[in-house]
Structure 1
């Protein structure tokens, strides 16, 4: 799903005042706000819509830079996609103090970040807040960003951590349809056990190494195909399957007391 022209115009924000406490002790402009109107209007259940990446088109200069750098393989041995190379150019500018370049990164990644937060958190308000927090953390951490991972992968890592933190703060609640169930079908002890099991699972997922946690979240929570995860993270499909397999084995071991 592409952003509408109106949504893209709304995404362009004025440069906000500086904020303190950035890495290195220098003031950095506040990150651009995630545009509320840029949130996908349709159901977030469609897995990893490839059209979400079409919301922004690189300039002619960025195309030339991408062409110059495109033959260089990444650490997986595969050639980097052009959109990854354009992200690198924008990151270079943003780290040099260009808040406009970071605003471009926000526009490029807002649809996918919002889709991920919506799938993980389930309601629009929490998803928008989590997306904004993820971009804020990314902006403040940008001086320490290393290009051993694509910017999108690094951003998804931040986003999943924000969502897991949000989930851990939530007060456990019963689904609405459980209220209507007869008392003899669900006891209070059963409900307490289910809540504790869900919390244990969230903790186990949070403790996974990021290279396992991100594919797991994209596959099991966001509903992405192996091919989509491969494209998002710059990995081969066998590598994705291997990381998912190791993640599931770890979770099975962690959840053994609950089975």
Structure 2
């Protein structure tokens, strides 16, 4: 690890989104204070309650994801690493690597592996390829990690390129796919026969996926089997507000393999 510097990972909550909701709720509260001019200004208490509640949920979620609030972002990544590590994969892919946190944790847990992270790093996120590379260098795993800008809808690697594929809260964010399950199929395309996958996403959210059965069918269509399929809260107790439907209440952890020859 680079002495004197700390990696910068951030959280899964867009800070810009939190600031916007906070600004709107603050403005509504300020306008309601003008009730001394006209009682109609009290109507602004209604949007204040709505936006204030959203701001509260987002702010508490950010705290829960940080070390001061329980470090649940790290704990979720550690849970995923623990499900990959026993397979001792040599080549691992993280689809939607964000700030590189999961890639780096995998590289540390698998000293004989090389771990690749891909992401589109959209402008509405505060992550970047440079940030990932800096974090890997600080953590001392730069030589065994690589990061590249790619769309999860069309991964630029040949079929069966990796021994393990992971993805954390990414598939529902793929904007250029009408059916988010197609992202699951694409990720499994680059998993070799005998390889292992671990995916976490909002698979139970009807706003993202038609049904969990649709996700199961997509995995079968990709030629993979399922060994674990359950809500995240069943594997890791989640405090308020992480169980909220708009946070991780719909998150499901799926793990399995792609049947075939286990040799590299």
Same fold by TM-score greater than 0.5: no
- Greater relative CO, 1 or 2 (CA 8 Å, sep 6+): 1
Higher strand share: 2
Higher helix share: 1
* TM-score, normalising length: structure 2: 0.24
